[in-house]
Chains A and B, each alone.
Chain A
């Protein structure tokens, strides 16, 4: 289907060139990485930039670099790259889980983690994984770079803390300082690809520390700090889980839309809380977990 909107296209070979263009055009331009979000939006008339800046030739962006205390995921890294990466599979399995639930193979081959974050849709699958790992988004402009903690990155539906002349350079994920078990669960309508109607990420460790985050259940993805606070140090007995579910009801604000009703999202979130924590514990004990099967409906 033809795109009626006309625009200029640039493919800078260096980060500096890209930042110059960005600084010049600001709100009037858009960054093109995978295009799986931007091209749809442009075709449907939701956005009409006068310039599109294709960043795929910029060398600094296409690596996952491993450092002593953290990994740095470049803005050009796709979901397919994440799924194939050993350090993600072994070091950040929750991000691996989340990456596998995004769209399909032909979209994951292009869609970037950075692009996903920049879209800031409430149902962002990668967000809970980054939230429970206290990730940081490194943003760059002509003025230099700055680190935006992921908790401060999402300001509202489709709104991020990025300034108009900033581009995401990379996402920093600190290595956990002790052994933990983690998992991402996603509620969809059937077995095929879907936007999350509820997404939950869980991290547990042997000292009964818990980190929990969700997406599609509020205006932005968030950490569930009240549940975390309540659970910390406690053994997960049925009574504790039951109380946690009560607290959860206060903490999330699901809406009714054509994908699911508020009541269903609340109800299944309780189920996801219980099963997700258990699955995270299973992973802590090196037991195999298949997150996509945990809610039923799939072989």
Chain B
């Protein structure tokens, strides 16, 4: 067991981890952050996505011990003071149904818009191609992102 320090949703945190503990499990069970979800254990579905130093990773394929000294952001970190423009758009365009994949998709698109504020439809599709949604058929998700992309925010 080792005590590691990291920044989680803008707060410094420490936690005891064994080498074989998966980041997704440690976030959920030991650090109280529930928005990243388990969907497939293999990195195929994107529900476990978190931002590691601002970049999307599959937290089910990361050992918790690897992120010592790094920064993790999840949807809770984005929703702290108020919803982001993207999150508002998701609500407006009905871009979710059961909501299970939503945190992962929100993070993937948050990263996309940071790096490419005005993505094309093709770029949008590619950015979330690794986030599986069984409910919406994706179209309302594209609509929300295109609206945010156009508004230049």
Taking beta carbons and an 8 Å cutoff, which residues of A are in contact with B? 1-9, 11, 32, 34-36, 39-40, 43, 52, 54, 56, 80, 103-107, 109-110, 192-193
Residues 96-134 of B contacting A (Cβ, < 8 Å): 108, 111, 126-127, 129-131
Residues of A within 8 A of B46 (CB): 104, 106
Instruction: Return the contact of B66 from the options A32, A43, A105, A192 (Cβ within 8 A).
Output: A32
From known contacts A1-B22, A106-B108, A106-B130, infer whether A39 and B63 are also in contact, taking CB-CB under 8 Å. yes
Apart from A36-B61, A107-B43, list 8 A-B contacts with CB within 8 A: A1-B38, A2-B25, A7-B20, A11-B66, A39-B60, A105-B56, A192-B129, A193-B130
6 nearest CB pairs, A to B: A104-B130, A9-B19, A1-B41, A106-B56, A3-B20, A39-B61
B25 closest partner in A (C-beta): A2
The answer to whether A36 touches B19 (Cβ under 8 A) is no
Question: B87: CB under 8 A from chain A?
Answer: no
Question: Which residues in A have their C-beta under 8 angstroms from that of B38?
Answer: 1
Complex interface: chain B residues within 8 A of A104 (CB) = 46, 129-131
Q: Which residues does B use to contact A, with CB under 8 Å? A: 18-22, 25, 38, 41-43, 46, 49, 52, 55-58, 60-63, 65-66, 108, 111, 126-127, 129-131
Complex formed: what's the CA distance from A8 to B43 in Å?
23
Which residues of A lie under 8 Å from residue B111 when comparing CB positions?
105
Taking each of B42, B55, B63, B127, which has the highest tally of chain A beta carbons within 10 Å of its own beta carbon? B63
Q: Which residues of A contact B66 (CB under 8 A)?
A: 11, 32, 35, 54, 56
Q: Please report the C-alpha to C-alpha distance between residue A6 and residue B46 in the assembled complex, in whole angstroms.
A: 26
Which residues from B are CB-within-8-Å of A8? 19
A3 to B25, CA, bound (A): 10
Chain B residues with CB under 8 A of A107: 43, 58, 61, 130
Which of A1, A11, A54, A193 has the largest number of chain B CB atoms within 10 A?
A1
A-B contact pairs, 5 of them (CB 8 A): A1-B38, A39-B22, A40-B61, A104-B129, A106-B108
Given contacts A35-B63, A105-B126, contact A110 B19 (CB under 8 A): no
A28 to chain B, nearest CB (A): 15
Instruction: Tell me if B60 and A35 are in contact (CB < 8 A).
Output: no
How many angstroms from the CA of A6 to the CA of B22 in the assembled complex?
A: 12
Q: Which residue of A lies closest to B121 (CB)?
A: A299
B67 to chain A, nearest CB (A): 10
**A195: min CB distance to chain B, Å:** 11
Distance in Å from the Cβ of B115 to the closest Cβ of chain A?
Answer: 9
**Contact of A110 (CB < 8 Å), options: B18, B57, B108:** B57
Q: Report the Cα distance A2→B108, complex, angstroms.
A: 25
A6 touching B20, Cβ below 8 Å? yes
B19, B41, B62, B130: the one contacting A105 at CB < 8 Å is: B130
CB-defined contacts of B21 to chain A, threshold 8 Å: 2-3
* Contact in complex: A106, B41 (CB < 8 Å): no
Q: Is the CB of B25 within 8 A of A109?
A: no
Minimum CB–CB distance from A163 to chain B (whole Å) comes to 25
Residues of chain A with a CB closer than 8 A to B62's CB: 35, 39, 110
Chain A contacts of B57 at CB under 8 A? 106, 109-110
Rounded to whole Å, the gap between the CB of B26 and the closest CB of chain A is 11
User: For the complex, what is the distance from the CA of A4 to the CA of B60, rounded to whole Å?
Assistant: 14
Cβ-closest chain A residue relative to B65: A9
Q: How far is the CA of A109 from the CA of B129 in the complex (A)?
A: 14
With a cutoff of 8 Å between Cβ atoms, the chain A residues found around residue B63 in the complex are 9, 32, 35, 39, 52
How far is A6 from B20 in the complex, measured between Cα atoms in Å? 6
Q: How far is the CA of A106 from the CA of B60 in the complex (A)?
A: 11
Q: Is the CB of A52 within 8 A of B43?
A: no
How long is the Cα–Cα vector from A4 to B41 in the complex, in angstroms?
14
